[in-house]
A and B are shown apart, each in its own frame.
Chain A
Amino acid sequence: MGEEELHQLIRGCIKQDRKCQKMLYKAFYGFSMSICLRYASDRDQAAEVMNQGFFKVFTHIESYDPGRPFKAWLGKIMMNVSIDHYRSNLKMAYTEDLDEAVHISDGNLVDKNLNYNDLLAMVQRLPHAYRTVFNLFAIEGYSHDEIASMLNINAGTSKSNLHKARQKLKQMIFKADSSVNNANYNNGMDYTPIVAIKAVAANGVFLNKGIRE
């Protein structure tokens, strides 16, 4: 989608034009979903969270600064609603005691025959608290201090959760590696030709002013 087209859509969304909203939604559906999927435990939950994100986008679209990349703004919103979702479900979040640390066989992780869906499924199987911290630290690149303030926990908890998340993931990789046939991780995901979307450089500020409430 060209810049001009995108801005036209955004102008339409500012007027609350339903057609423009749907076009924008469709255009960024994959991108937004890929973020929410990492924070959610399944596709349905991810869709629910993503819709909350788009709802904020459409109701606060006038606060978007056209001078900045739309995708970064959108990605931040998706991350924020995911965190909100986590926080609102804190009661249900549970942590698991780790099994004994599993020794991961030597070898380069990159060589493992694991694709996007395999890894996504592993992340999704993490307990919510671990998953959130892992996403924020390993994938989004936030520091423990930042994560602590985002999640309203202390930095020690963040470190601990990250550690446990890693342990869990290692276990899962080990299991996957040891089984000849990879489990079917298809959680309602279809394999379609990939249009790669560049990761958003989401460094720096993690709070998007005016979007999170």
Chain B
Amino acid sequence: MNHEKDKELDDFFRNRLQDPVDPVFRENDWGSLEQMLEKTKKPKGIVYWLPYISGAAALLLLFLGWWSFRPKSALQSQTPIAVLPHKPAGPGAPLASNQQPATRNQSASHLAEQGQIAKTAVARNTSNGNSKPSSAGVRDRLPDFAVKNVLHSYPDKQLVAIKQIKKGSNEPAVADREFAMLSIASPKPDFENELASQPVISSHYLPNRQDANLPSQMKPANKTKISSRSAFRPQYALTVLAAPDLNGVGSFQQSKVGTNVGLQFSAGLSKKFSIATGVIYSAKPYLTNFDSYHTLYKFPVTPVNVTADCRMLDIPLNVGYQVYNKHQNRISIGTGLSSYLMLHENYTFNYAASTHSYGYGYTSPTNYTVPHSKSYLMGVFNLNATYERPISSKIDIAVEPYLKLPLTNIGYSQVRLQSTGIAVGLKWNLNSLAKP
């Protein structure tokens, strides 16, 4: 009985409730649902794309760096000096050959080369006769201060000759070349003193470098960089890293592969920001055309190109900013400066087969090892992007593509050596160690 009544009640409700009066649509209801949909959609999209966006940005960064340093010769040809007619350096040392009556002309042409003056201009003018007038013109525009730099690197005889010229008010021409050479260069020390006290670096026909005598800021950049740092994290971390990289002068077109191994220490400044420093031992071989190689030594025979082997310590100081941190994946971007402490510099000069022995009985040097390598403080600009992922509670694995761009000329040969590579490292989170 009861059961039937219950059933009747249930049916009564079921039947009537299944014929509902359609509730009127309320726009508000849709509005709140739309909000829910928007909320979940946007973050999802961003989160999904962020790693790709960051990756693309890092690649773009690397590419831009590479690209902007690529058209080196084009840039040079735009300078006034590029128009200078002069003889290619090929034919002999200034004093050795009688072809050039005025030392300054010769030195002008030499400098022009060193300054990476457009090869095209150089190639065009093989006669010395023309060089005087134009060099004079150029002269006016160029500062005197560079003269001394040029001077010191000359071999004795040249030095004397140049000195005389200088006193006779011809200095500007020399200055011009030097200026071209050290286009980015820096303050120059007192000219006279410099001259007087200059030791001559290479009195034999080794390639001369200005470096030895020049104040350190003026020194050309020898080579290199390598550094990599790993990422940032809360608090302190130690990273062991290794990185293959590509090194090239002016571009990566003739790049050689170098090796870097180092140790890096990073400290988190906030959730997002961190700083990192360390020591990275770098072996940076590179190959450069001879016109990118800056020396005041006059080669009896112009080498085709120069192969360099540089070893150095790279001490980076970088700041990093974390742009992504989800699902144990972290991506940060970083920038900073590196100092290079040169440990070893060696240059090998490569000649075209037919030109090695020159008619005057001189043989161009084939090899030069820089006796006292220098340090280049904060001379390299670092850009990097770091991806990190924990592999255990204390250790992360980090992958870091990086780009190192020269701010100054580095090394004995004053090259603008840039590097790009990918560092791979293990990062040891010191905090998590301390806690337990």
Which A residues are within 8 Å of any B CB, using their own CB? 16, 18, 21-22, 25-26, 29-30, 33-34, 37-38, 43, 47-48, 50-51, 54-55, 58-59, 104, 109-110, 112, 114-117, 119-120, 123, 134, 137-139, 166, 169-170, 189-192, 194-197, 199
Contact = CB atoms under 8 A, between A and B. Distances in A.
B26 A47 contact: yes
Contacts of A51: 29, 32-33, 36
B17 A190 contact: no
Contacts of A117: 21
Contacts of B10: 137-139, 166
Contacts of A47: 26, 29, 32
A120 B6 CA distance: 18
B6 A189 contact: no
B16 A115 contact: yes
A40 B328 CA distance: 41
Nearest to A27: B25
Contact of A34 (B22, B34, B36, B40): B22
20 contacts: A16-B41, A21-B37, A29-B25, A29-B29, A47-B29, A50-B29, A51-B29, A116-B17, A116-B19, A116-B20, A119-B12, A123-B13, A139-B13, A139-B14, A139-B17, A170-B9, A190-B23, A192-B21, A192-B24, A194-B20
Contacts of B32: 47-48, 51
B17 A166 contact: no
A120 B22 contact: no
Given A22-B30, A29-B23, A37-B23, 18 more contacts: A18-B34, A30-B23, A33-B22, A33-B23, A34-B22, A51-B32, A54-B33, A55-B37, A116-B19, A119-B12, A119-B13, A119-B16, A123-B13, A134-B13, A138-B10, A189-B21, A189-B23, A194-B20
B6 A166 contact: yes
A212 B90 CA distance: 83
B174 to A, nearest CB: 71
A116 B25 contact: no
- Residue of B16, B17, B23, B34 ringed by the most chain A CB atoms within 10 A: B23
- Residue of B18, B26, B33 ringed by the most chain A CB atoms within 10 A: B33
A24 to B, nearest CB: 11
Contacts of A104: 5
B140 interface: no
Nearest to A114: B16
A83 B8 CA distance: 25
Contacts of B25: 26, 29-30
Contacts of A55: 33, 36-37
A195 B37 CA distance: 29
B265 to A, nearest CB: 45
A194 B23 contact: no
Given A47-B29, A138-B13, A34 B23 contact: yes
Interface footprint category on B = 20 to 34
B interface SS class: helix
Contacts of A109: 8-9, 12
Contacts of B8: 109
A120 B23 CA distance: 12
Contact of A169 (B13, B14, B19, B21): B13
Interface in B34-49: 34, 36-37, 40-41
Contacts of B29: 29, 47, 50-51
Nearest to B16: A119
A110 B12 contact: yes
A23 to B, nearest CB: 11
A72 to B, nearest CB: 14
A43 B9 contact: no
A196 B19 contact: yes
A116 B34 CA distance: 30
B36 to A, nearest CB: 5
B169 to A, nearest CB: 79
A120 to B, nearest CB: 6
Nearest to B6: A166
B22 to A, nearest CB: 4
A204 to B, nearest CB: 17
B232 to A, nearest CB: 35
Nearest to A118: B16
Contacts of B13: 119, 123, 134, 138-139, 169
A22 B37 CA distance: 11
